[in-house]
Structure 1
């Protein structure tokens, strides 16, 4: 089944928001994309694999990963509907420098490198929006590297919980909205499973969070924010 860009509800998607401009080039151009349905836990980008364009998330959730020293996996980003995957490999080399795995059943729209180049070379508005997107991504990456290096392990775990809550959480009941294993939480926070388990246990005893298996609820968001407020690190994505 092919998911039409014209029927897509992801207004923040770089393709969807520029659909009028793109259709001025060719009304059928977005029909040349490929739609991929990924089951939960399926890896659709392999680190080191040949670049095959960009992936836009139509629906679902994805983790972007990179293998570090001794084969340890690091989660670089957690992404949702309308976001772009694989952009760091676009136009910069022949292979992807990251891997990407579906956290839940996910639908992806894949635009080949050739198709994207055709769009970007012909439509300045789309090119400008992509340039702005890359600038924001660079700013987030630089800020994260600087700030995370100054945080304690507890602060890193708290920041991670607040990040997931801001991006995926349910404000009505405080749940994070994303069920990750303790290993995955550690891979994102840049620490060990044991440290994550210990800190989550401490936060639970302090009545700041509630945990049951993979379900985590924020019970006192103001106190958690206060703990890392000196870092002024509240990036949305």
Structure 2
């Protein structure tokens, strides 16, 4: 990847909050003060417990956001792609991050420092309003996830996670457009590696899934959806 500076005004990520407000004249002076960060696959760029150093916006790539759970096991709380914000839960409420973040593939990030973000929010009401709506939506998703996932069996948790990944990242050819290990799927679904392996194996025997190494393809999407239809819910966090 070339070390080029990303231009927010001409950015193609229309779902990015900064891009959505880049037309506001009061915001433009702050856009030149951001950092463009290039992260290799598997490289962490936020460490849990490290000092907060602003917000990250994904320009291009995929990342996982995790939190240390019981007995030191990682729980993946979010999977993120182009245009999404990372680090927002620690911003403004403490001196250290309560999450970690790692690139799933080579990723380009836009980083705005704490001081820069604070000045932007104080100077641009449109941006403050967009951030308020974003936080409200995040809270609603988190509450729904906690409430619903408690009602799911292990099989349903794994299926729901696969449907979420399919909806969010799509597919390339016959396989999902993201490669996660069985452990990463388990850490996201809130179960164990062994249980994920068993569920995926069962779904393959039923002709619903197919695999090739880490790659997973959904062969019968509607049948997979019907398996958890009673919940009328797919994790969206």
TM-score band w.r.t. shorter chain? over 0.9
Q: 1:131 to 1:26 in 2, by over 3 A?
A: closer
Q: 1:14-50: CA deviations, max 9, x gaps?
A: 00000011xx126432010011000000000000000
Q: Deviations over 1:167-214 (max 9, x none)?
A: 0122x7442111011111111111111111111000000000001111
SS in 2 for 1:88: coil
- The 10-residue stretch of structure 1 (2-11 or 156-165) with the greater mean CA deviation from structure 2: 2-11
Aligned pair in 2 of structure 1 residues 5, 174: CA closer, same or farther (>3 Å)? same
Does the CA contact (< 8 Å) of 1:161 and 1:176 recur in 2? no
Runs of 4+ in 1 over 6 A off after TM superposition: none
Match status 1:134 vs 2:135 = yes
**What is the TM-score normalised by the length of structure 1?**
0.96
Equivalent residue for 2:179?
Answer: 179
SS in 2 for 1:150: coil
Q: Answer whether contact 1:33 1:109 (CA < 8 A) is retained.
A: yes
2:126 match = 125
Matched, 1:86 2:87: yes
TM-score normalised according to structure 2 size: 0.96
Does the residue aligned with 2:17 lie in a helix, a strand or coil? Answer: coil
Aligned twin of 1:6: 9
Hey, what does 2:209 align to over in structure 1?
A: 209
Of residues 182-191 and 100-109 in structure 1, the stretch that sits farther from structure 2 once superposed is 182-191
Q: Which residue of 2 aligns with 1:20?
A: 23
Secondary structure of the structure 2 residue equivalent to 1:15: helix
Determine which structure has the larger helix proportion and give its number: 1
Mapped to 1, the partners of 2:220 and 2:205 lie a distance apart of: 12
String of CA shifts for 1:126-177, please: whole Å, max 9, x gaps: 111100000000000000011100000000000010000000122x744211
Pairing 1:160-179 to 2, within 5 Å after superposition: 160-170=161-171, 173-179=173-179
What is the Cα-based RMSD across aligned positions, in Å? 1.2
The answer to which of 225-234 and 205-214 deviates more is 225-234
Contact 1:165 1:175 in 2 (8 A): no
Tell me by how many angstroms 1:95 deviates.
0.5
**CA apart distance, 1:236:** 4.2
Tell me the equivalent position of 2:230. Answer: 230
Matched residue of 1:165: which SS? Answer: helix
Q: What's the counterpart of residue 46 of structure 2?
A: 45
